[in-house]
């Protein structure tokens, strides 16, 4: 898969459909040559633009700055003449800030590196994979930089990471260490990013890139509601099913930076990594710094091809939980049913009704500990509130398990309320800057998880709960962004390390949790979907995708999320109407179909439902059990686009969305169609399907009529869905190969 062409001093990393090529130049610099559709293994020197100086006719090495400013650098440094965005920057012991990385040696080996303390993709023996490691050096400082490139036999993805070792004799400060930078030869790209806000996450933005820098980032200490750590560069003609799509994401949950820069000579520099703003890391002689992994995906099959590549890679090589291949229990979460206002009796009634309907896991959300009757107290004091739960959690857990259900619990381990015993005893454990007011957000502060003693104290409390009550599921919440970054445990020279040290601390505690309790189902959450990122997938196979449970809004949120995250990781629940976030009414059936395009569960007061609604729950659970393997292990094809889909210009307010999951052997598929807005006197719609076997005949039932049709016809001409009476009406059906 990885080839070294010795005479040409070139490397070619190949997957089934993709080639990524780089070269060592005469001066020992590493230059990018090509990334795109698979090429034969061959000398690509003719593609390298190394002799094109921008404003002098001379050739290298006379005009070095021009050379540096135009070379397609594989890992560009700052301070030596490349005036585009650098991937790597330092400040040495004397305050000087230039660096210059040249090739030392390389190795190619089977397998891939393990990143200590950071989430990372992994190998398994059944999937061959290879890694190219290139060692570069900045001679004056003695810094050694290892660039790693891993390719997988079952994916058109390239996973990159960067490790820095200080082999010099003096300390050196790293000021930027991006995880990937690539100089693409093309200039005509659209950049697709996901923007949003709380309850409105992952809205799609697609715009042509223009000269200059187009950036998204986070400086909030979390990957954020505002921008997802993901972007795609697309040819202007790229659609859902065809055209070039280059996707980038970072396996990291903290501050990130992602940028496309269209340069003076119309090449495009694409980058992703830890946000260099407010970042610095002091590296003493002999010390090492590891940057997170970046994932780069190439597909000639449009956005859909790119997304499926991310989904499969993450499913096979990033999610570790035993739950990834198992049907997740259908859960009920009491948050939207009770908020903070519950007692043991109320919860037992909810659980009993849920069990009678066939729900399998009861999750107790926020408000069970300390004296937390609203969001203004008790975070950090993880002892049950005896007023609400006399005798602690055990009577409730026993009642729930006695009903044949599993018991789940909400935690927010990283936070502390000013009104808590923990804060009163250890004020300095909260992130803060001395003599500066601490900004409150949701009435809480953030614990300094860069400190081991702080993590230990929280871990002791969590472990005591998990060892005393049969907890099968944890929802790990995180409800505020970081401010006044300061740690009482770090010297002045290291305060800028806190953002990243905090993330390493969070990962450490999650690692303890999932390795001590491997059977636990962990669902991540961050005020809804603020940490909906690949880093979290390493610890939790599912993540609550948004606090907005309105199905119509979820169509957009889940569409955006599916661009790079597997649908099986998308926490999605049926909730009550009018919806608490939007006030909108949506048919119960559609709420179920939209939630089944994710992990599926309920978040409402089941004791208040009508007989018909309860019957529908029974039916939905049965459907979920019949089809959830397709959502988990099948391939997802988006057939509509809730941001743009309407029939024709004259029908601006008719909208629809649709998707299909197809089993790997193409014998079975689950099709869902949602008519977002109804229109009187409309003809039926034909929705072209995807992913089916063209020559196979599929059986399906629509409008109570059994039908059969060739895969080729269903894909080319479409499946005919009737005009439905009402907004947000929907159809879900199964297609089986005859
Ligand atoms: C935010 C989460 O997204 C909600 O689901 C809920 O758990 C609340 N926090 C509880 O405070």
DSSP labels, 546-571:
-S---HHHHHHHHHHHHTTS-GGGEE
| Ligand 1 neighbour 478 (Cβ under 6 A) | no
What is the Cα–Cα distance from 165 to 145, expressed in whole angstroms?
6
Ligand 1 and 530: CB distance under 6 A: no
* Whether the predicted pLDDT of 692 surpasses 60: yes
Domain 331-633 has CATH 3.20.20.70: yes
Confidence bin at 700 (pLDDT 50/70/90): very high
Residue 137, strand partner residues: 102, 144
Instruction: Read off the tokens for 95.
Output: 């305050």
CA distance 161 to 133: 10
At residue 231, the 3 state secondary structure works out as strand
Residue nearest to atom 9 of ligand 1 (CA): 527
Q: Which atom of ligand 1 is nearest to the CA of 365?
A: 7
For 374, other C-beta atoms within 10 Å of its C-beta total 12
Q: How confident is the model at residue 49 (pLDDT cuts 50, 70, 90)?
A: confident
Instruction: Return the H-helix or E-strand segment holding 677.
Output: none
> How close is the Cα of 530 to the center of ligand 1, in Å?
11
- In this predicted structure, the answer to whether residue 648 has a pLDDT above a threshold of 60 is no
- pLDDT at position 333: 97
Is residue 671 a contact partner of residue 685, using CB atoms and an 8 Å limit? Answer: no
Alpha helices in 525-662 (DSSP H): 534-537, 551-562, 588-596, 611-633
* pLDDT the model gives residue 317: 96
Instruction: Convert the pLDDT of each residue in 429-449 to its tens digit.
Output: 999 999 999 999 999 999 999
CB-ligand 1 contact for 601 (6 Å cutoff): no
Which residues have a catalytic role annotated? 477, 547
Ramachandran category for residue 187: left, alpha or beta (phi over 0 → left; psi -120 to 50 → alpha) = alpha
- pLDDT-wise least confident of 22-31, 135-144, 292-301, 502-511: 22-31
Q: Average of pLDDT values for 18-39?
A: 95
Instruction: State the virtual CA torsion across 465, 468, 471, 474 in degrees, nearest 10.
Output: 10
Give the pLDDT mean for 534-540.
Answer: 98
Residues ≥6 apart with Cβ < 8 Å to 510: 476, 522, 539, 540
Residue 143 CA, ligand 1 centroid: distance in Å: 44
Helix (H) or strand (E) holding 164: strand 157-166
Establish whether residue 528 lines the binding site of ligand 1, counting it when its CB lies within 6 angstroms of any ligand atom: yes
Q: Judge: domain 637-737, CATH 1.10.3720.10.
A: no
pLDDT at 20: 98
DSSP SS3 for 226: coil
- Ligand 1 in reach of 589 Cβ (< 6 A): no
> 527 CB less than 6 Å from ligand 1?
yes
The CA 361 to ligand 1 mean position distance, Å, reads: 17
- Burial (Cβ within 10 Å: 0-12, 13-18, ≥19) of residue 428: middle
Is the CB–ligand 1 distance for residue 523 below 6 Å?
A: no
**Separation of alpha carbons 702 and 707, rounded Å:** 7
Question: CB of 388 within 8 A of CB of 342?
Answer: yes
d(CA 243, CA 305): 9
| pLDDT at res. 634 | 97
Q: Share the mean pLDDT of the chain.
A: 95
Residue 603 CA: nearest ligand 1 atom is 5
Section 370-385 average pLDDT: 97
Pairing mode, strands 705-710 and 668-675:
unpaired
C-beta of residue 502 within 8 angstroms of C-beta of residue 221: yes
| Ligand 1 atom at minimum distance from 544 CA | 3
Q: What's the confidence (pLDDT) of residue 47? A: 93
Place of tokens 């560009």: 76
Report CA Rg, the chain.
Answer: 27
Q: What span, in angstroms and rounded, lies between the C-alpha atoms of 597 and 348?
A: 29
pLDDT at 94 over 80: yes
pLDDT over threshold 70, residue 470: yes
Average pLDDT over residues 229-258: 98
The model's pLDDT over 323-348, given as tens digits with 9 standing for 90+, comes to 999 999 999 999 999 999 999 999 99
Tell me the backbone φ, ψ of residue 211, rounded to 5 degrees.
-60, 135
**How remote is the CA of residue 307 from the centroid of ligand 1, in Å?**
28
What's the confidence (pLDDT) of residue 55?
Answer: 57
> Looking at ligand 1, which atom is closest to the CA of residue 475?
7
Average pLDDT over residues 159-185: 97
Poorest-pLDDT segment among 113-127, 510-524, 613-627? 113-127
DSSP 3-state of 497: helix
State in Å: Cα 410 to ligand 1 middle: 9
Q: How far is the CA of 327 from the centre of ligand 1 (A)?
A: 24
Structure confidence at residue 53 (pLDDT): 61
Give SS3 for 174.
strand
Give residue 482 CA to ligand 1 midpoint distance, Å: 18
Residue 368 Cβ contacting ligand 1 at under 6 Å: no
Query: Does ligand 1 lie within 6 Å of residue 525's CB atom?
Result: yes
User: Cα(366) to centroid of ligand 1, in Å?
Assistant: 7
**Atom 3, ligand 1: which residue's CA is nearest?**
528
Examine the pLDDT at 61 and tell me if it is beyond 60: no
Residue 247 has pLDDT above 90, yes or no: yes
Cα 194 to ligand 1 centre (Å): 22
Which pLDDT does position 651 carry in this prediction?
53
Q: Is the CB of 366 under 6 A from ligand 1?
A: yes
Q: What is the pLDDT of residue 267?
A: 94
Task: Give the model confidence (pLDDT) of 582-633 as tens digits.
Answer: 999 999 999 999 999 999 999 999 999 999 999 999 999 999 999 999 999 9
Residue 703: per-residue pLDDT: 87
Residue 54 confidence (pLDDT): 59
pLDDT of residue 27: 86
Q: Which of 473, 528, 530, 548 to mutate to test the pocket of ligand 1 (most atoms within 8 A of CB)?
A: 528
Residue where the block lists tokens 């505002």 = 226
What is residue 649's predicted lDDT score, i.e. its pLDDT? 53
Q: How far apart are CA 97 and CA 118, in angstroms?
A: 28
CB of 298 closer than 6 angstroms to any ligand 1 atom: no
Residue nearest to atom 11 of ligand 1 (CA): 366
Task: Compute the average pLDDT of residues 516-524.
Answer: 97
Beta bridge pairs of residue 256? 274
Note the pLDDT of residue 683: 87
Mean local confidence (pLDDT), 471-483:
98
What sign does the dihedral 305-309-315-316 (CA atoms) show? positive
Going by CA atoms, what residue is nearest to atom 10 of ligand 1? 366
pLDDT at 647 over 80: no
* pTM assigned to the model: 0.96
Task: Reduce the DSSP state of residue 411 to 3 states and report it.
Answer: strand
Please give the distance, rounded to the nearest whole angstrom, from the Cα atom of residue 478 to the centre of ligand 1.
8
- Is the minimum distance from the CB of 547 to ligand 1 under 6 angstroms? yes
Architecture of domain 2-317: Distorted Sandwich (2.70)
Ranges 409-418, 532-541, 637-646, 692-701: which has the least confidence: 637-646
> How sure is the predictor about 69, in pLDDT bands with cuts at 50, 70 and 90?
confident
What 3-state class would DSSP assign to 577? coil
> Residue ranges per domain, the chain?
2-317, 331-633, 637-737
Residue 57 has pLDDT above 80, yes or no: no
Q: Which of 415, 476, 479, 540 to mutate to test the pocket of ligand 1 (most atoms within 8 A of CB)?
A: 479
For the sheet with 668-675, list strands across it. Answer: 635-638, 656-662, 668-675, 729-737, 697-702, 705-710
pLDDT interval class at 39 (50, 70, 90)? very high
Measured from the Cα of 546, ligand 1's closest atom is: 3
CB of 479 within 6 A of ligand 1: the answer is yes
pLDDT number for residue 297: 98
What confidence score (pLDDT) does residue 126 get? Answer: 84
504, HSE (Cβ side, Cα atoms, 13 Å): 16
């Amino acid at each position: 898969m990885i080839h070294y062409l010795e005479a040409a001093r070139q490397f070619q990393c190949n997957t089934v459909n993709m080639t990524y090529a780089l070269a060592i130049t005469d001066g020992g610099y590493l230059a990018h040559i090509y990334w795109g559709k698979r090429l034969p293994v061959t000398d690509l020197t003719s593609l390298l633009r190394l002799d094109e100086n921008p404003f002098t006719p001379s050739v290298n090495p006379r005009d070095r700055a021009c050379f540096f400013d135009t070379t397609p650098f594989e890992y560009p440094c700052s301070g030596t003449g490349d005036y585009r965005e650098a991937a790597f920057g330092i400040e040495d012991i004397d305050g000087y800030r230039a660096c210059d990385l040249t090739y030392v040696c390389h190795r190619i080996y089977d397998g891939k590196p393990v990143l200590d303390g950071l989430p990372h993709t992994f190998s398994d023996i059944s999937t061959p994979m290879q890694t190219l490691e290139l060692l570069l050096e900045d001679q004056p400082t003695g810094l050694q930089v290892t660039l790693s490139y891993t390719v997988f036999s079952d994916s058109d993805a390239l996973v990159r990471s960067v490790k820095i070792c200080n082999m010099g004799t003096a300390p050196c400060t790293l000021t930027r260490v991006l995880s990937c930078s690539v100089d693409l030869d093309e200039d005509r790209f659209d950049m697709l990013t996901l923007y949003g806000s709380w309850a409105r996450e992952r809205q799609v933005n697609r715009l042509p890139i223009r000269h200059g820098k187009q950036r998204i980032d986070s400086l909030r200490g979390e990957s954020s509601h505002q921008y997802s750590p993901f972007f795609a560069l697309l040819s202007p003609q790229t659609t859902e099913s065809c055209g070039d799509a280059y996707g980038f994401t970072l396996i990291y949950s903290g501050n990130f930076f992602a940028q496309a820069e269209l340069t003076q000579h119309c090449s495009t520099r694409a980058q992703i990594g830890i946000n260099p703003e407010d970042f610095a890391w002091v590296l003493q002689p002999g010390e090492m710094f590891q940057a997170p992994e970046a994932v780069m995906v190439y597909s000639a099959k449009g956005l859909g091809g790119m997304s499926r590549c991310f989904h499969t890679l993450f499913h096979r090589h990033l999610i570790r939980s035993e739950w990834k291949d198992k049907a997740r229990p259908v859960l009920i979460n009491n948050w939207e049913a009770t908020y903070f206002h519950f007692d043991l009796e109320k919860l037992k009634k909810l659980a009993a009704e849920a069990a009678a309907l066939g729900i399998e896991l009861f999750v107790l959300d926020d408000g069970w500990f300390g004296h937390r009757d609203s969001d203004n107290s008790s975070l950090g004091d993880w002892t049950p509130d005896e007023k609400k739960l006399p005798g602690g959690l055990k009577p409730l857990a026993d009642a729930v398990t006695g009903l044949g259900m599993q018991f789940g619990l909400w935690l927010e381990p990283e936070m502390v309320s000013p009104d808590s015993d923990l804060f009163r005893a250890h004020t300095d454990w909260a992130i803060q800057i001395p003599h500066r007011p601490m900004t409150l957000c949701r009435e809480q502060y953030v614990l300094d998880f860069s400190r081991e003693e702080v993590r230990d104290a929280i871990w002791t409390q969590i472990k005591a709960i998990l060892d005393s009550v049969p907890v099968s599921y944890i929802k790990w919440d995180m409800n505020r962004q970081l401010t006044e970054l300061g740690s009482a445990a770090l010297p002045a020279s290291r305060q800028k390390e806190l953002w990243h040290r905090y993330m390493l601390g969070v990962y450490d505690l999650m690692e303890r949790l999932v390795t001590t309790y491997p059977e636990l189902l962990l669902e991540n959450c961050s005020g809804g979907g603020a940490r909906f990122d690949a880093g979290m997938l390493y610890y939790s196979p599912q993540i609550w995708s948004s606090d907005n449970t309105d199905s119509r809004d979820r169509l957009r949120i889940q569409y955006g999320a599916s661009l790079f995250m597997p649908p099986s990781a998308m926490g999605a629940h049926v909730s009550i109407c009018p919806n608490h976030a939007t006030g909108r009414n949506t048919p119960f059936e559609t709420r179920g179909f939209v939630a089944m395009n994710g992990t599926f569960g309920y978040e409402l007061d089941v004791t208040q439902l009508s007989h018909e609604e309860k019957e529908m729950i029974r039916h939905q659970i049965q459907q979920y059990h019949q089809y959830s393997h397709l959502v988990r292990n099948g391939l997802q094809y988006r057939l509509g686009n809730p941001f743009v889909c309407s029939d024709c210009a004259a029908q601006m307010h008719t909208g629809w969305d649709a998707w299909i999951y197809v089993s790997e052997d193409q014998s079975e598929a689950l099709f869902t169609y949602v008519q977002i807005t109804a229109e009187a006197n409309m003809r039926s719609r034909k929705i072209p399907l995807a992913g089916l076997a063209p020559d196979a005949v599929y059986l399906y039932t629509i409008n109570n009529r059994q039908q059969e049709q060739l895969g080729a016809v269903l894909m080319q001409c479409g499946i005919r869905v009737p005009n439905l009476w009402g907004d947000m009406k929907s159809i879900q059906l199964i297609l089986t190969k005859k």
